[in-house]
Amino acid sequence: MLIPKNNANQMRSLILIKIAESFLKDRFASADRIPLELRPKGEPHSRCCIYKDRAVLKYRAMAGMGISPDEETDEVTSLREYGEEALARKEKARSKLAVIDIACSACVKAQYMVTNACRGCFARPCQVNCPKGAISFVNGQAHIDPDKCVNCGKCHEVCPYHSIIRIPVPCEEACPVDAIKKDEFGVEHIDTEKCISCGKCLMSCPFGAIVERSQMIDVLKLIKDTDKKVVAMLAPAFVGQFPNDIANVVGALKKLGFADVVEVAVGADITTRKEAAEFVERMEEGANFMTTSCCPAYFRAAKVHIPEIEPFVSHTKTPMYYTAELLKQEQPDCVSVFVGPCLAKRVEAEYDPNVDYVLTFEEIGAMLVADGINIEECPAEEFHQISSAQGRQFPLSGGVAGAVASLVEGKADIRPEKIDGLSKENIKLLKRYATKGCDNNMLEVMCCEGGCIAGPGCIALAKKASRAVESYVAKGENLKDKE
């Protein structure tokens, strides 16, 4: 499910910029003004009143500070005080998606509805095909009895005028594992035991009611207020996310305060080699297939929701893991910060002692804007280690399997297939493959449709980013040819 840019998602970026600006300006002394600046008097409000708009913005700002609005919070405590709490925090903000209850619109239960496009036709296929007799005709138009309707959608499928529509609950519709449900008041809640931290609910909620705790302030404190050596590890999906040349982006991050910037595609090369060797070994042992992916949301889904597929999941670690391992071997005292498109990477990092913090491209972009850094004006800085073309193609759907296949060729028969996006339907497909077998012996599973370039922490539209990554891959191939 690809989510286009919208006001709710753009407001999230603005809030992150304001939070970073407030930290840099006066260490949150003026933080209470953030909701007022984002929703000033006289501007049209999007909820019942401007004061509710501001209340919601306050809770969203809290998440930007790394404080979850569904925990020990209240209306009396000010943003300045929450900012002071964030500054005093000794441990990083742990990953957690949460619903702001006052922002949740309590959408009606997903249902089918007849619109005024209904012509009351003689054929009446909606009525004829309804298995529960839920459709009657009143004043020449179809009417659905909600007490009889089972939401099968047959009426929707057969209406020649497309006059019957499905009204979804966007967050529930987007969640591939049914981890978000309504309470008795209709407000959504996220079941942390089921959640895979994919962020699809966050991106799909049209009211901006779902937030994720940021580690932005934790990182800003380290690079601005300490003498610690903080190193950014840039995920391969960063290509195309920021304006100007890649070398200028590296220069901008160093100007922001990072002591060094390393390319995670180098770790992807290690993943490729190890996963290729694992695949050959599994095939020699008679395995039916192996799933290959660098997606922590998929790993969590396999463990919690698709236990049948777990025996087929690759044991090879992700590019983030290997990059951080190399970095800590070379610079054991540094603070490692993975910068990528994914919220689930924060969960993965909590189990990886070599990864200290995780930021999204969106958060890095907010930090650059807040610090007044123009990427185009920054000096070009090159990566110390250059990755292969195969490592650079990891963020595209099919890229991981393609990289592994390039090393397996001639050593084993390989028939790759990509599962492009983790949806309810694709979860059923994976269960079927696990129990009934699969014609392909290598499955790449990416939670985000299109690959990591469509992750919830991205700035650029997926198609634009995809073209940029393809160009970067081609550049790597040209370098290899010159060697």
Decide: 353 and 317 in contact? Cβ < 8 Å: no
The answer, yes or no, to whether residue 367 has pLDDT greater than 60, is yes
Which pLDDT band, with edges at 50, 70 and 90, does 479 fall under?
very low
pLDDT, mean of residues 22-35: 97
H-helix or E-strand spanning residue 339: strand 335-340
CB atoms within 10 A of CB 258: 24
Among 1-5, 250-254, 312-316, 460-464, whose mean pLDDT is lowest? 1-5
The answer, yes or no, to whether residue 475 has pLDDT greater than 80, is no
pLDDT, mean of residues 10-15: 94
Which pLDDT band, with edges at 50, 70 and 90, does 70 fall under?
confident
Local structure of residue 449 (DSSP, 8 states): T
R_g over Cα of the chain: 24
Q: What is the pLDDT of residues 410-448, one digit of tens each?
A: 899 999 999 999 999 999 999 999 999 999 999 999 999
Buried b (16+ CB within 10 A) or exposed e, 194-225: bbbbbbbbbbbbebbbbbbbbbbbbbbbbbee
Q: What is the dihedral of CA 438, 440, 441, 446, to 10 degrees?
A: -90
Phi, psi (deg, nearest 5) at residue 134: -85, -5
Structural domains of the chain, with CATH: 7-106+172-214 (3.30.70.20), 111-167 (3.30.70.20), 218-482 (3.40.950.10)
User: The whole model's pTM is what?
Assistant: 0.92
- The rounded percent of the chain whose pLDDT value lies above 90 is 84
Any long-range contacts for 123-127 (C-beta under 8 Å, 24+ apart)? 123/160, 125/155, 125/158, 125/159, 125/160, 126/154, 126/155, 126/158, 126/159, 126/164, 127/155
| Token couple for 312 | 């087929």
Longest dimension (CA), the chain: 78
| Token couple for 451 | 């690959």
What residues contact 143, with CB distance under 8 A and at least 6 apart? 114, 135, 136, 137
| Token couple for 268 | 């992807």
Pairing of β 111-114 and β 164-167: antiparallel
Q: What is the pLDDT of residues 231-271, one digit of tens each?
A: 999 999 999 999 888 999 999 999 999 999 999 999 999 99
pLDDT, mean of residues 91-119: 91
Crossing angle between the packed helical segments 50-64 and 79-88, to the nearest 10 degrees: 0
Q: What is the dihedral of CA 257, 259, 261, 266, to 10 degrees?
A: -160
Which pLDDT band, with edges at 50, 70 and 90, does 476 fall under?
low
Number of H helices, E strands in the chain: 19, 15
Report pLDDT for 7.
87
SS3 content of the chain, % helix, strand, coil (to 5): 45, 15, 45
What residues contact 212, with CB distance under 8 A and at least 6 apart? 63, 95, 96, 97, 98, 199, 202, 343
Q: What is the pLDDT of residues 177-221, one digit of tens each?
A: 999 999 988 899 999 999 999 999 999 999 999 999 999 999 999
CB atoms within 10 A of CB 102: 14
Which pLDDT band, with edges at 50, 70 and 90, does 482 fall under?
very low
Distances (CA, A) of 232 to 57, 107, 305, 406, 429: 29, 40, 33, 29, 37
For residue 375, which of 253, 293, 217 has the smallest C-alpha distance? 253
Q: How many CA atoms lie within 13 A of 165 on its CB side?
A: 7
Q: What is the pLDDT of residues 324-340, one digit of tens each?
A: 999 999 999 999 999 99
Q: What mean pLDDT is reported for the chain?
A: 93
Decide: 145 and 126 in contact? Cβ < 8 Å: no
Phi, psi (deg, nearest 5) at residue 417: -145, 145
Which pLDDT band, with edges at 50, 70 and 90, does 483 fall under?
very low
For residue 357, which of 367, 56, 44 has the smallest C-alpha distance? 367
